[in-house]
A and B are shown apart, each in its own frame.
Chain A
Amino acid sequence: MFSFLFRRLLVLIPTYIGITLTAFVFIRVIPGDPILVMSGERSPSPEKYAELMHAFGFDQPLWKQYFDYVGNLLQGNFGDSIVTGRPVLEEFFELFPATVELAAFALFFALLIGIPAGIIAAVKRGTFYDHTLMTISLTGFSMPLFWWALLLIVFFSGYLGWTPVSGRISALYFFDTPTGFMLIDSWLSDEEGAFKSAVMHLILPAVALGTIPMATFARQSRSAMLETLGEDFIKTARAKGLSPFKVTVVHAFRNALIPIITVIGLSVGVLLGGAILTETIFSWPGIGKWMVDSIFRRDYPVVQGGLILIATIVIMVNLTVDVLYGIIDPRISKKGH
């Protein structure tokens, strides 16, 4: 197990060098002079220009710039935002809980509906239930996320007036946010109705973001279940006279977990990508909106730092999934992929 983990970590080193290199090159391949691009319409005076060149280290040789950059990263210095002047890492940690909250609830919603739907479809294969569930999930899978989010807003916020259109909480409430997770903070605060407001703000974006993963989970758990339901040990379990529920959930589902965990791991990338659209549409102040805004504002230090931080999350999740495989199926870690 440990040598397996060690090998996986070792492979990460070249990947990580590549990721920092990608983010580093990013700012340098933009057509035109980065200083001119960053200073926008006002072109700086020659003195100011030289000063900026020096401040960003652009007057150094490229290899030295890269090593300085990585050196700073290793010390936790991701540079400062051009727009706000604040450290990139500080902004990231301030906004990250909002995205985690949104993504976690989207994932929860997706798992809660997707996996049972997939299991039911597999058990009732070829019936009306199967066809209906699979038609719905394929439609969800094909849904343009931004359009779906807008439809939800039109119906639930506009027509029914049930949920607010944007933000994380009503502007009526003021309270400290020690954890950054609005649900927890509003629960802890004494403000009446704050928690309800936070929940109402969260529902629609979470459903919008969770729809595509939900459809993926339903499809994947159906095919994984079909695969295991045909195996001999299931026939044995049935022959032993176990209840259908026990056969399905305890025997078949457990063995169908590997492909399901794979898609859950992969869906984290999907959720982070989808968060870009969802957060933009719902004005949700998380890292997805932060990245889009920074790309539009040409706030390159933020884009650079954000890319590295988001890639780190994706890599961490993939590593966790790999380790989970090893725990669920010891054969995998022994074989040493």
Chain B
Amino acid sequence: MSVEAINNQPKQSALMAVLASFWFEFKQNRGAFYGLVFMGILLVCAVFADVISPYSEIEQYRDALKLPPVWVEGGTWAHIFGTDALGRDMLSRMIHGSRFSFYIGIIVIFICLTVGVMLGLIAAFNKGFIENCIMRLMDIILAFPSLLMALALVAILGPSLLNAMIAIAIVYIPHFVRLTRAQALSELGKDYVSSSKTMGASRSRLMFINVLPNCMAPLIVQATMSFSSAILDAAALGFLGMGAQAPTPEWGTMLADARQYIQSDPWMMGIPGLAILFTVLSINLIGDGLRDALDPKMKTSKT
């Protein structure tokens, strides 16, 4: 026990040092920092949606239909972002909608990382037939434009937010498989892997303990970028009526509802659209910051 404790000590502080230098690099990037702040605020909204939002997100206030937001003439402080065509409070719907952004992003990334990394590692460790099967399967998925494939998959599975997320995840998996495989292959040629093999390490130990941690940096960047694309694609599916269904306050679905009032009440479309834009922009800024901090070679902003 005590020997292990001593052994673990330097490892811990080494990890801390890595994290500290990573944070130092990341902080340098102002865009990434603001992105993180925005996502932090959004996370608070998502977690405490029930407490923060002034009204229920599905309650229809029939005496206040299509009320403009407070900064437009005719708006009131009672409904800061106004109300939609059914008299539902926009601010409350926006706050509740933020939950779906995280929900979509986290589920899609979870599926992609587990399935994609697993398949990528299997492909890298089983050269020949198995590798070929996996990689050709990924080629097939990549041959279809992602939104079209997702749309077709949702048509099969039935339109719902969960099915939209599964469809989007399936479409993104090939990127994770290719990345993991390429990264694992380059690691496999290195000395530390062969020495671990000589020491009699099992295949699963080689896969998960030796190789995988060294493949993580590009995977984290890819996961961040896929997080934002997943939000965009889910919103697009919602907009086409193939994602979240009414009265779910998902931002893309809200945009689809607002589309018929595009000329008369443009704010109804403006608010959810801006929210999607800022969320996706923030995640992309964080992604850029992560890439710069994790991979000094790929620096985009400063040198």
Contact = CB atoms under 8 A, between A and B. Distances in A.
The number of chain B residues touching the other chain, given as a range, is 35 or more
A18 B144 CA distance: 12
Given A22-B140, A269-B145, A144 B236 contact: yes
A142 B285 CA distance: 10
Interface of B: 31, 132, 136-137, 139-140, 142-148, 151-152, 155-156, 158, 228, 232, 235-236, 239-241, 252, 255, 259, 262-263, 266, 269, 273, 276-277, 280-281, 284-285, 288, 298, 300, 302
B152 A141 contact: no
A143 B152 CA distance: 23
Contacts of B276: 144, 147
Contact of A15 (B139, B146, B300): B139
A272 B277 contact: no
Interface stretch (A42-50, A77-85, A90-98, A148-156): A148-156
A102 to B, nearest CB: 14
A106 B276 CA distance: 23
Contact of A138 (B140, B252, B285): B285
Interface stretch (A26-34, A171-179, A200-208, A244-252): A26-34
Contacts of A135: 31
Given A29-B156, A158-B263, A295-B152, 9 more contacts: A15-B136, A19-B140, A134-B300, A138-B288, A144-B236, A150-B259, A269-B142, A288-B148, A292-B151
Contacts of B147: 273-274, 276-277
A277 to B, nearest CB: 6
A270 interface: yes
Contact of B143 (A226, A270, A280, A314): A314
B40 to A, nearest CB: 18
Q: Which of B137, B147, B262, B302 has the most CB of A within 10 A?
A: B147
Interface in A299-337: 303, 307, 310-311, 314-315
A146 interface: yes
Interface in A255-273: 269-270, 272-273
B6 to A, nearest CB: 45
B142 to A, nearest CB: 8
Nearest to B269: A150
Interface string A171-215: 000000000000000000000000000000000000000000000
Nearest to B273: A147
A154 B300 contact: no
Contacts of A30: 155-156
B156 A154 contact: no
A311 B284 contact: no
A270 B236 CA distance: 14
Contacts of B31: 135, 138
Nearest to A270: B145
Interface residues of A, number: 51
A72 interface: no
A168 interface: no
A142 B145 contact: no
Interface in A271-296: 272-274, 276-277, 280, 288, 291-292, 295-296
Nearest to A30: B156
B298 A223 contact: yes
Contacts of A61: none
9 contacts: A135-B31, A144-B273, A144-B277, A147-B269, A154-B269, A222-B300, A273-B147, A291-B151, A295-B151
A26 B152 contact: yes
Given A150-B269, A223-B300, A295-B151, A139 B277 contact: yes
A126 interface: yes
Interface string A9-32: 001001100110010001001110
A144 B155 contact: no
A144 B280 contact: yes
Nearest to B151: A295
B143 A146 contact: no
A145 interface: yes
A264 B300 CA distance: 20
Given A126-B302, A139-B281, A144-B280, A154 B262 contact: yes
A276 B151 contact: yes
B79 to A, nearest CB: 22
Contacts of A15: 136, 139-140, 143
- 9 closest A-B pairs (Cβ-Cβ)? A273-B145, A147-B273, A18-B140, A273-B147, A142-B281, A142-B280, A311-B143, A272-B145, A144-B276
B15 to A, nearest CB: 30
B232 A138 contact: no
Given A158-B263, A303-B152, A144 B143 contact: no
Contacts of B136: 11, 14-15, 18
Contacts of B241: 296
A146 B255 contact: yes
Interface string A208-237: 000000000001001100100000000000
